[in-house]
Amino acid sequence: MSVQSVNRKSRFLAACAGQPVDTVPIWLMRQAGRYLPEYQATRRRAGDFLTLCTTPELAVEVTLQPVHRLGVDAAILFSDILLPLRAMGMPLTFTDEGPRLSPLDSAAAIDALRVLEPDALPEVLETVRLLRRELTDVVPLIGFAGAPFTLLTYAIEGQTGKSFVRSKRLLYAEPELAHRLLGKLTDSLIAHLTGQAKAGAQALQLFDSWVGVLSTEDYAVFGAPYVERVLSALRPLGVPLIYFPLGGLSLLPQVGKLSADVISVDWRQPLSLAQKLLSSQQGLQGNLEPLLLLGPLAQLEARVKRVLDDAPRRRYIFNLGHGLTPEIPPAHVEALVEMVHRLGQRPAHE
């Protein structure tokens, strides 16, 4: 594929595959979200967050909003990493303080969890199918799930962890039970991500949002092996696999041995340093500090330029180092996309 034929529709997947691109592709974690007034409007119509996630027409609507407004190079399915836990048998609600589940507190509770099949979560798969149709000739669609250890923390804490005491008690005091839970989560995630890809998702991202609380020694036992099981099982689907180990700088040497195509890097360290710890076969995604979007545009542009200068020439996707937050002005997000497309242009001979 020559660089001339690469455009908005194809540059994200081209970059994932290490092919030449006309300019650096960009999408943004939590690009569909509360910072957008049109999202707020749909959210109000939905009534509650869970209804928004599980009503295909509404989930499609909020997925497409940033694609149209921002001109990003990929759409990401609007869903939630906790929906698979709900489908496995854990009642889920969303409060103003965050998600709430009845925490698993016994071997029996873990044994009672259902392992998902690829056709579980039909409303999410329907959203994917509708989106893929809407997005033909626009941009590719990314599906996603939480990584096994991250889902373990929610299942055990019953909410977003703080000290992760319950989760780590399981790892250290009942390791066999921890492995049994991780196994069931892994099998369910493989099924759900396979379902997403078969329904039309053209890339898959695994969010390991809480893996940063694990030491390197514990990641080697409770983290990496399960992530690799997911990645290996998804490999035959033929879609690019992206892994985001948030806060996991100390884990990058192990992440470099995983079979992910692209590693999403948080904002804490320069991309060039992260790359040294990873495999030369892995592409990078990231890693602007999202809250720079609260500051003036001239400063934002200077920092975007430094990220781009520091990024690899090939197999690179611009993103934030973490998700967009409600306080960020949409006009600054629009400006960011324009900056990346302008400053990221690659000469045709590259």
Q: Which residues bind a second copy (CB under 8 A)?
A: 163-165, 168-169, 172-173, 212, 214-218, 247, 249-250, 267-270, 273, 289, 291-292, 294-296, 299, 303, 306, 321, 325, 327
User: To the nearest whole angstrom, how small is the minimum distance from the Cβ of residue 220 to a second copy?
Assistant: 11
Residue pair 19/320 in contact (Cβ under 8 Å)? The answer is: no
Q: Which is nearer to a second copy, 291 or 335 (CB)?
A: 291
Backbone angles phi, psi at 211, to 5 degrees: -65, -20
Q: Is 224 exposed, middle or buried (0-12, 13-18, 19+ CB in 10 A)?
A: buried
Among 128, 23, 11, 8, residue whose Cα is nearest residue 70: 8
N residues, the chain? 350
Q: Which is nearer to a second copy, 47 or 253 (CB)?
A: 253
Give me the helix-helix angle, 175-199 and 122-135, nearest 10°.
40
Residue position matching structure tokens 């990929």 = 74
User: To the nearest whole angstrom, how small is the minimum distance from the Cβ of residue 227 to a second copy?
Assistant: 17
Active site residues: 30, 34, 43, 80, 154
Name the 3-class secondary structure at 7.
Answer: coil
Residue pair 109/176 in contact (Cβ under 8 Å)? The answer is: no
User: To the nearest whole angstrom, how small is the minimum distance from the Cβ of residue 340 to a second copy?
Assistant: 18
Handedness of CA 273, 315, 218, 214 (dihedral sign): positive
User: To the nearest whole angstrom, how small is the minimum distance from the Cβ of residue 35 to a second copy?
Assistant: 11
User: To the nearest whole angstrom, how small is the minimum distance from the Cβ of residue 251 to a second copy?
Assistant: 8
Residue pair 319/280 in contact (Cβ under 8 Å)? The answer is: no
Residue pair 158/100 in contact (Cβ under 8 Å)? The answer is: yes
User: To the nearest whole angstrom, how small is the minimum distance from the Cβ of residue 207 to a second copy?
Assistant: 17
Q: Which is nearer to a second copy, 133 or 276 (CB)?
A: 276
Q: Which is nearer to a second copy, 139 or 336 (CB)?
A: 336
Q: Is 203 exposed, middle or buried (0-12, 13-18, 19+ CB in 10 A)?
A: buried
Q: Which is nearer to a second copy, 102 or 299 (CB)?
A: 299
DSSP character string of 161-227:
-SS-HHHHHHHHH-HHHHHHHHHHHHHHHHHHHHHHHHHT-SEEEEEETTGGGS-HHHIIIIIHHHH
Q: Which is nearer to a second copy, 12 or 39 (CB)?
A: 39
